[in-house]
Chain A
Amino acid sequence: MKIAVCVKHVPEGSSKLDPGSKRLDRSGEGALNQFDANAIEEALRLKGDSDTEVVVVSMGPEKAADSLRKALAMGADRAVLVTDDALAGSDLAATSKVLAAALERESADLVLFGQQSSDGDGAVLWAAVAERLRRPVISQAAELSIAGGTVHVKRQTEFGYDVIEAALPAVVSVSDAINEPRYPSLKGIMGAKKKPSETLSLSDLGVAAGEVGEAGSKTEVLALGSPPARGDARKIEGDANAAQAIVDFLAEKRLI
């Protein structure tokens, strides 16, 4: 069996926007999106001691190789990085096109995603990728197992849990409640450098530059502003009259 895990290299620390391009400033240090570690961990758990291959796939700047190396250090077998200057500014439509093309080449039985990206707060990519691959998709997996060519998922929703099955090949996004990601061992870190790692350009994938990046994106950032500020905040200390002060405040705001 082959499992592909899609991962993202995100800016570390407090993010800022570049006022010129109105995009996230990705020039500083980066790290593996923490939610993707759950997807890697789940792939490694499914692999266990079997001969299942775990491939990590990322689209991003050249520095994204650092995050792929971390995935390899955790135990993934192989890494694929799609990087190209023309990719900068890709939105969902463009990104899903590129990842689908990279995954098409791998034809993995199972494609895993983490539940969101910590930089753009996106939690949508898997469904677009699954649609382009024309495969069933299951999101918010809190439990996952595979038996007899079928993936079995407990999906967490607003109302409780749905138990969902799909025949492989399929695409699944995992919740961060599914597991506790392992830390790479020293041996893993040393071994990661020797594992196969491939870098692909758009032409390797047969995707035209005009279909991706800013040119191929269907959405745009028009302007950046400040959110409306909160009104005058009040603070009180001590227990004695606190309850009455809260009641007075709520009454003043016409909330009671």
Chain B
Amino acid sequence: MPILVFLEHHGNELQKGSLGVLAKAAQLGGGEVAAVLVGANVKALAAEAGTFGATTVHVAEDPSLEPPLPQARVDVLAKIVRDGGYDTVLFANSVLASDIASGLAARLDAGLNWDLADIALQDGKLVGKRPALQDSVLADVGWKTEPRIALFRSGSFDATPTGGGEPKVEDVAVELEEHSRGAKVVGQELEESSGPSIEDADVIVAGGRGLGSPDKFTLAEELARALGGAVGATRAVVDAGWYPYATQIGQTGKTVSPKLYVALGISGAIQHKVGMQSSNVIVAINKDANAPIFEFSDLGVVGDLHEIVPKLVELLNQRT
């Protein structure tokens, strides 16, 4: 069962989500698992992929592959899958990865299951676990043909090093299709954020309308600092310009599953819920006792966050 995992990188950093998928694939693949790196100057990242379980790393390195565009990557992956006889290709979800996975499915006329939270071997067959209908249902999904292609929700797997060694590195040279060269990146505006990004954070403190005003986000920031976490936001406050889009959690933002999620002044509308309900532990503070967030919180606190959060920060800081 040769499995191939697409590794996404940003700058010189492999994304935690794809390392988590790689570690999971190493478990499933009985020790043999391959990864793909595509970009300019990415070969140096192969060794790190080895520590997360990759035994082989295919490297497609070329300046023309540097822009984060999907179609050239479809060309690379299609060649590797065909030449290497891979029957399963796994991706951690992202704006880029979902376009690659879908394009690859069309190129290879293969099945793509997306939004998976887990994958397992059942009676010798790979079965995807797909929460559906606002996570009220858990569907077992399968593939009728090979290769099988899967996209996993962010935070599905812990990126835990497997203790693997130096992987075998194989260079891939690919002639790009004409339509894969059609789009060009002519500029970038990157948002530099301080502290851990919300996809990578073990703790997230998220703020909603209940904070009252944009300057009250300092409460979320102080609590995040005290807990060693990152700050997230609801769609309502992002739309209102209180906090950057990069921090938006929910249906039209990011899906996160940290060890601890603290919701400050968030009602828990369905569009937010789908982005955070798979967090391990959820603590919510909201003055409205009937807020839907309390239906899926492990600890619900009905009260005034403006009173509670400063005290909480003080108590936490006393402990350390």
Asked if B182 contacts A167 (CB within 8 A), the reply is yes
Judging by beta carbons under 8 Å apart, are A163 and B139 in contact? no
Closest to A134 in B: B179
Given A137-B71, A239-B303, A256-B316: A163 in contact with B105 (beta carbons within 8 A): no
**Residues 117-158 of chain B, each 1 if its beta carbon lies under 8 Å from chain A, else 0:** 000000000010001110111111111110000010000000
Residues in B whose Cβ lies below 8 Å from that of A125: 102
Beta-carbon contact of A164 and B184 below 8 Å: yes
Q: Is the beta-carbon distance between A124 and B301 smaller than 8 angstroms?
A: no
Nearest B residue to A130, CB-CB: B103
Contact of B298 among A116, A137, A226, A231 (CB under 8 A): A231
B185 near A225: Cβ-Cβ < 8 Å: no
Q: Are A124 and B138 in contact, CB atoms less than 8 angstroms apart?
A: no
Residues in B with CB closer than 8 Å to A162 are: 67-68, 185, 187-188
Number of interface residues, chain B, beta carbon within 8 A: 91
B311's nearest neighbour on chain A, judged by CB, is: A243
A256 to B228, CA, bound (A): 10
Assess whether A160 is in contact with B188, with CB atoms less than 8 Å apart: yes
Interface residues as binary, B64-105 with A (CB distance below 8 Å gives 1, 0 otherwise):
000111110010000000000000000000111011111101
Contact B113 A165 (CB under 8 A): no
Q: Which 5 A-B pairs have the closest CB atoms?
A: A218-B111, A136-B182, A163-B187, A243-B311, A127-B102
Given contacts A137-B99, A246-B312, contact A159 B106 (CB under 8 A): no
Q: Report how far A76 CA is from B219 CA in the complex, Å.
A: 47
Interface of A (DSSP majority class): mixed
List chain B positions with a Cβ less than 8 A from chain A. Answer: 10, 67-71, 74, 94-96, 98-103, 105-107, 109-115, 127, 131-133, 135-145, 151, 177-180, 182-191, 197, 199, 203, 227, 245-246, 251-252, 254, 259-260, 274, 281, 283, 285, 289, 294, 296-304, 307-309, 311-312, 314-316, 319
Q: Closest approach, in angstroms, between the C-beta of A151 and any C-beta of chain B?
A: 9
Instruction: Tell me which of A15-23, A44-52, A186-194 binds B.
Output: A15-23
Q: Which residue of B lies closest to A237 (CB)?
A: B302
User: Could you list some 29 contacts between A and B, CB below 8 A?
Assistant: A15-B133, A22-B139, A96-B105, A96-B106, A115-B252, A116-B252, A121-B274, A124-B151, A126-B99, A127-B98, A127-B103, A128-B103, A139-B98, A163-B189, A219-B112, A220-B144, A221-B140, A225-B138, A231-B298, A233-B297, A235-B302, A237-B303, A238-B302, A239-B304, A242-B312, A243-B309, A246-B312, A253-B260, A253-B298
Known contacts A130-B71, A218-B111, A255-B259; 5 further A-B pairs (Cβ under 8 A)? A121-B115, A124-B98, A157-B94, A163-B189, A166-B183
Which of chain A's residues has its CB closest to B113's CB? A219
**Chain A: minimal CB distance from B309 (Å):** 8
Cβ contact within 8 Å between B137 and A17 = yes
User: Which residues of A are found within 8 Å of B70, using beta-carbon distances?
Assistant: 127, 137, 139
B308: chain A residues at CB < 8 Å are 239, 242-243, 246
- For the complex, what is the distance from the CA of A96 to the CA of B104, rounded to whole Å? 12
The answer, among B127, B251, B301, for a CB contact under 8 Å with A246, is B301
Nearest opposing residue in chain B for A120, CB measure:
B132
Knowing A157-B68, A158-B199, the reply to whether A247 touches B99 (Cβ < 8 A) is: no
A91→B190 CA distance, assembly (Å): 35
Q: B189 — which chain A residues lie within 8 A by C-beta?
A: 160-161, 163
Q: Which residue of A lies closest to B125 (CB)?
A: A222
Q: Would you call A161 and B105 a contact (CB within 8 A)?
A: no
CB-CB under 8 A for A243 and B315, given A92-B105, A222-B142, A235-B302:
yes
Decide yes or no: A164 and B105 within 8 Å by CB, A157-B96, A223-B139 being known contacts.
no
Which residues between 106 and 126 of chain A lie within 8 Å of chain B, taking CB atoms? 115-116, 120-126
| Chain B residues, CB < 8 A from A121 | 115, 132, 251, 274
A156 within 8 A of partner (CB): yes
State in angstroms the CA–CA spacing of A247 and B178 once bound together. 59
A217 interface hit (Cβ, 8 Å): yes
Q: Find chain A residues with CB under 8 A from B109 CB.
A: 93, 218
